[in-house]
């Protein structure tokens, strides 16, 4: 069982001031009130945390956390 979801939640806790229990797998970024600037910020944090490369479009405001986990896990780890 991967820990991608938990690590993604921890990014929201560490960088965006969330409490762990404020985030659920079915929540969209829009519901979490992350605007476009925050999503770019999150994209940067995800790249650093998971050592992957994302495009600007990989995380969408209408994506759920669960969908984001799938996107992250689909990307190859870069050195």
Partner 1 sequence: MPGAAPFDAAITGIGMVTAAGIGTDTAWETIVTAEGTAASPVPALDGTPSAIGCWIPGYDPIQAIGRRRAWRFDRSSQFAITAAAEAVGDSGLDPSTWDGTRVAVVLGSGIGGAASWEKQHHVLLDDGPTSVSPLLIPMLAVNMSAGYVAMEHGARGPNLVTATACASGTTAIGTARELLRQGVCDVVITGGTEACLIPSIVAGFSQMGALTGRQDDPSAASRPFDADRDGFVPAEGAAVLVLERAADARARGARVYAHISGYGASADAHHATAPEPSGAGAELALRAALEDAALAPDTVDHVNAHGTSTPLNDAAESQLIRRVLGERPAVTSVKGVVGHSLGAAGAIEAAVTALTLDRQLVPPTANLDSQDPRIELDVVAKEARAATVEAAVSNSFGFGGQNAVLVFTRA
- Site residues (vs partner 1, CB under 8 A): 15-19, 33, 37-38, 40-41, 44, 47-48
Q: How far is the CB of 73 from partner 1 (least distance, A)?
A: 22
Find the shortest distance in angstroms from Cβ 74 to partner 1. 20
Give the nearer residue to partner 1 in terms of CB position, either 38 or 71. Answer: 38
CA distance 5 to 49: 12
Let me know: does 54 contact 46? Beta carbons within 8 Å.
yes
Query: Measured from the CB atom, is 55 or 74 closer to partner 1?
Result: 55
Residues 6+ apart with CB under 8 A from 6: none
- Least separation in angstroms between residue 44's CB and partner 1 is 6
Q: How many helices (H) and strands (E) does the chain have?
A: 3, 0
């Amino acid at each position: 069982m991967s820990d991608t979801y938990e690590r993604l939640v921890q990014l929201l806790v560490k960088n965006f001031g969330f409490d762990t229990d404020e985030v659920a797998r079915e929540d969209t970024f829009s519901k979490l009130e992350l605007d476009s600037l925050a999503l770019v910020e999150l994209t940067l944090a995800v790249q650093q945390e998971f050592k992957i490369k994302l495009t600007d479009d990989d995380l969408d405001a209408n994506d759920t956390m669960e969908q984001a986990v799938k996107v992250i896990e689909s990307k190859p780890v870069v050195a």
